[in-house]
Chain A
Amino acid sequence: NAGVTQTPKFRVLKTGQSMTLLCAQDMNHEYMYWYRQDPGMGLRLIHYSVGEGTTAKGEVPDGYNVSRLKKQNFLLGLESAAPSQTSVYFCASSYRLGDYGYTFGSGTRLTVV
């Protein structure tokens, strides 16, 4: 039972490049989330999904897109990376909407140069 798995763990991008971060969970959780973590700013919600085929915007959605084609996977895309998107990205999943503890992935450290 792996829990929540994120790939890749590290990535360096050049400004303007695109990439996709993959989050996979094997707990049959309905709800999945993407956060970014920056020093002094805590964890900020980018996008989230309340079920297969659904997505919704969080606090900081600009510059990112997401897809949830399969229940176990939640993809985060950067179409044209910018240095401001340098961050640590965490995926999380939960069993119940809004009032249940998250299980986090191990994170992806992304640097945009």
Chain B
Amino acid sequence: GENVEQHPSTLSVQEGDSAVIKCTYSDSASNYFPWYKQELGKRPQLIIDIRSNVGEKKDQRIAVTLNKTAKHFSLHITETQPEDSAVYFCAVGSSNTGKLIFGQGTTLQVKP
């Protein structure tokens, strides 16, 4: 089955710096790549997603890039703010399997 690896497990940055989180996957049939943000004690919430026919997508300070050949995708957060501190999960899905497989999560700390 699908295997999703996420790195790093923890990331600490200064406010205003950029943060990058990377995920790799194994199933070349996967075609949907969302990112979720989970604040402490809360539910995961979708922040951005990308489909396999697109290489990059941006939404204000957040962007996601996808390299289908290498089977990896990344979340980029620019001009980080303390409220960006949370756990971030990547996930991989496909129309064939009907389910999302999640990475292990990255705890991002933005220091003021």
Q: Which residues of A contact B (CB under 8 A)?
A: 31, 33, 35, 40-45, 48, 50, 56, 58-59, 90, 97-102, 104-107
Contact = CB atoms under 8 A, between A and B. Distances in A.
Nearest to A99: B32
Given A42-B89, A59-B1, A99-B32, A48 B99 contact: yes
B51 interface: yes
Interface residue SS majority, chain A: loop
B104 A41 contact: yes
Interface residues of B, number: 28
Contacts of B42: 106
Scoring A35, A43, A100, A104 by chain B CB atoms within 10 A of each residue's CB, the highest score goes to: A43
Contacts of B45: 104
Contacts of A43: 44, 89, 91, 102
Contacts of B12: none
Interface of B: 1, 6, 9, 31-32, 34, 42-46, 49, 51, 89, 91, 93-105
Nearest to B96: A98
A90 B100 CA distance: 13
B44 A48 contact: no
Given A33-B99, A98-B99, A99-B32, A42 B43 contact: no
A106 B43 contact: yes
A21 B96 CA distance: 28
A33 B49 CA distance: 19
B94 to A, nearest CB: 5
B92 to A, nearest CB: 10
Contacts of A42: 6, 89, 102-105
B104 A98 contact: no
Contacts of A102: 34, 44, 46, 100
Contact of B101 (A45, A99, A101): A45
B98 A31 contact: yes
A52 to B, nearest CB: 15
